[in-house]
């Protein structure tokens, strides 16, 4: 058992420098450093508000830990996961005794709680934060401006997160995210820059690389239904002609587009472009990378000057450690 204040690090780089630390907190507030995992997967993604974690640990060192409520994962001294435990399973079979922990980052509390159905009049971003987020213990709101909508409706069945996200998408054109305990309602920062290369000096080495061009999801034109009940307003994807893609959609603008249907249609097409180019790279070992970081690739099969990290997955099992990155063009990440 490892008591509060203790450390246990593993997953080492060359030279024996410890890079990974996992800590759990129980219902009584006790801190426990978790032993090296038998298996682990931790994923964060641009379009999923709550990061996911699942780990299996040898149970012998965790006897008496009690009901665990929270978990953090630090990599190279940087917190890569900070969340709440959803499920704790203690099991015993012919292979041994195991403790399985499933957790999601703290945005999960906004996903799990339903928002009260209501219509706001002349509500600004801070009003929405105070109504839907403040009560759950977040440290505050990070934003560059405080926009207002003349009317904003939260329908029955929406989560607190969906209410916040809808307001941010309508007024700021961004998806909110959690940063160091704050709600961030602004464009993600560029973050660190790194080079993936097996030949360039100083580049991060990769064990696998895949480049996928997904043409089937791209929308080239949206035809909006106007007040005259006719589909007579066309909005075009500026990239569709160059890409030689023709895929149209007829849309009756939803309520959240009411203020500016053209902008809503443009956003729909931009979203369709997001994963048109998807580069997947697997790095041996664990490398501290965050969603929004920028990556260049120097290789004989692929060369890109600037891609954005869309998703990061850390894995550990009996075969070793690995970091998998999903990379997209930054033009479509807001």
Mean pLDDT, rounded, for 273-297: 94
Cα–Cα distances in angstroms (integers) from residue 199 to residues 204, 205, 283, in the given order: 9, 8, 14
Read off the pLDDT band of 3 (50, 70, 90): very low
Do 68 and 279 meet the contact criterion of CB atoms below 8 Å apart?
no
Read off the pLDDT band of 222 (50, 70, 90): very high
Structure tokens that stand for 80 in this block: 């890569």
For residue 237, the number of C-alpha atoms closer than 13 Å in the C-beta half-sphere is 26
Residues 153 and 198 in one domain: no
Is 4 part of any domain? no
Residues 208 and 323 in one domain: yes
Mean pLDDT, rounded, for 276-305: 94
Residues 174, 82, 19, CA angle at the centre, nearest 5°?
115
Could you tell me how many residues make up the chain? 334
> Domain with 15 in it: what CATH number?
2.30.300.10
| 3 state SS of 241 | helix
13: pLDDT strictly greater than 80: no
Is 292 part of any domain? yes
Residue 166: which of 256, 251, 255, 252 has the closest Cα? 256
Is 180 part of any domain? yes
The DSSP bridge partners found for residue 182 are 179
Residues 20 and 88 in one domain: yes
Instruction: Kindly report, residue by residue over 62-71, the tens digit of the pLDDT.
Output: 888 999 999 9
Structure tokens that stand for 215 in this block: 């043409």
Read off the pLDDT band of 188 (50, 70, 90): confident
Of 249, 273, 297, the position where a domain reaches its end is 273
Contacts with 311 (C-beta within 8 Å, 6 or more apart), sequence order: 43, 44, 45, 46, 291, 325, 326
Contacts with 284 (C-beta within 8 Å, 6 or more apart), sequence order: 205, 206, 207, 320, 321, 322
Read off the pLDDT band of 157 (50, 70, 90): very high
Q: Terminal CA-to-CA distance of the chain, rounded, Å?
A: 44
Read off the pLDDT band of 9 (50, 70, 90): low
Angstrom distance (rounded) from CA 197 to CA 210: 13
Residues 128 and 170 in one domain: yes
Could you tell me what percent of the chain has a pLDDT over 70?
95
Parent domain of 124: 110-185
Do 334 and 174 meet the contact criterion of CB atoms below 8 Å apart?
yes
Residues 208 and 321 in one domain: yes
Domain count, the chain: 4
Unique residue bearing structure tokens 């891609």:
307
* Among the ranges given (7-16, 77-86, 95-104, 106-115), the one the predictor scored with the smallest mean pLDDT: 7-16
Angstrom distance (rounded) from CA 64 to CA 222: 59
Of 41, 76, 105, the position where a domain reaches its end is 105
**Judging by DSSP bridges, how do beta strands 248-251 and 277-284 pair with one another?**
unpaired
Backbone angles phi, psi at 265, to 5 degrees: -65, -40
* Among the ranges given (13-22, 68-77, 145-154), the one the predictor scored with the smallest mean pLDDT: 13-22
Do 80 and 314 meet the contact criterion of CB atoms below 8 Å apart?
yes
Residues 202 and 292 in one domain: yes
Could you tell me what percent of the chain has a pLDDT over 90?
75
Q: Where are the beta strands (DSSP E) in 46-161?
A: 48-58, 68-75, 78-93, 96-105, 118-124, 141-143, 148-154
Residues 72 and 172 in one domain: no
Residues 120 and 81 in one domain: no
Residues 147 and 227 in one domain: no
17: pLDDT strictly greater than 80: no
Q: Where are the beta strands (DSSP E) in 168-238?
A: 177-179, 182-185, 193-196, 208-213, 221-225, 231-236
Mean pLDDT, rounded, for 308-317: 95
7: pLDDT strictly greater than 70: no
Of 80, 105, 130, the position where a domain reaches its end is 105
Residues 160 and 284 in one domain: no
333: pLDDT strictly greater than 90: no
Residue 51 burial class via C-beta count within 10 angstroms: exposed 0-12, middle 13-18, buried 19 and up: buried
Read off the pLDDT band of 8 (50, 70, 90): low
**Judging by DSSP bridges, how do beta strands 221-225 and 248-251 pair with one another?**
parallel
Residues 145 and 166 in one domain: yes
Is 291 part of any domain? yes
């Amino acid at each position: 058992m490892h008591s509060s204040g203790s450390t246990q690090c593993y997953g080492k780089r060359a030279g024996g420098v410890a890079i990974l630390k996992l800590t759990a907190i129980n219902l009584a507030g006790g801190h426990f450093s978790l032993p090296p995992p038998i298996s682990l997967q931790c994923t964060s993604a641009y379009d999923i508000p709550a990061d996911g974690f699942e780990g299996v640990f040898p149970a012998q060192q965790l006897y008496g830990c009690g009901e665990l409520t929270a978990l953090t994962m630090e990599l190279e001294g940087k917190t890569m996961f900070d969340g709440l435990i959803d499920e704790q399973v203690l099991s015993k079979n012919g292979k041994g005794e195991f403790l399985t922990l499933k957790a999601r980052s703290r945005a999960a509390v906004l996903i799990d709680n339903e928002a009260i159905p209501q219509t706001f009049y002349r509500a600004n971003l801070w009003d929405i934060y105070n109504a839907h987020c403040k009560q759950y213990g977040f440290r505050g709101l990070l934003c560059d401006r405080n926009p207002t909508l003349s009317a904003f409706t939260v329908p029955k069945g929406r989560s607190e997160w969906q209410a916040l996200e809808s307001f941010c998408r309508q007024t700021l054109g961004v998806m909110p995210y959690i940063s160091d305990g704050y709600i961030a309602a602004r464009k993600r920062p560029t973050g660190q820059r790194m080079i993936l290369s097996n030949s360039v000096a100083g580049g991060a080495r990769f064990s696998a690389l895949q480049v996928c061009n997904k043409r089937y999801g791209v929308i080239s034109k949206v035809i909006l239904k106007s007040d005259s009940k006719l589909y007579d307003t066309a909005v075009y994807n500026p990239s569709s002609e160059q890409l030689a893609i023709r895929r149209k959609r007829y849309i009756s603008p939803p309520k959240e587009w009411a203020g500016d249907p053209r902008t809503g249609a443009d956003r729909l097409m931009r979203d369709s472009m997001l994963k048109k180019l998807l580069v997947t790279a697997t790095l041996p070992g664990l490398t501290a990378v965050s969603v929004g970081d920028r990556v260049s690739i120097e290789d004989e099969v692929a060369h890109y000057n600037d891609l954005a990290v869309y998703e990061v997955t850390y894995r550990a099992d009996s075969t070793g450690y690995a970091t998998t990155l999903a990379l997209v063009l930054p033009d479509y990440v807001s």
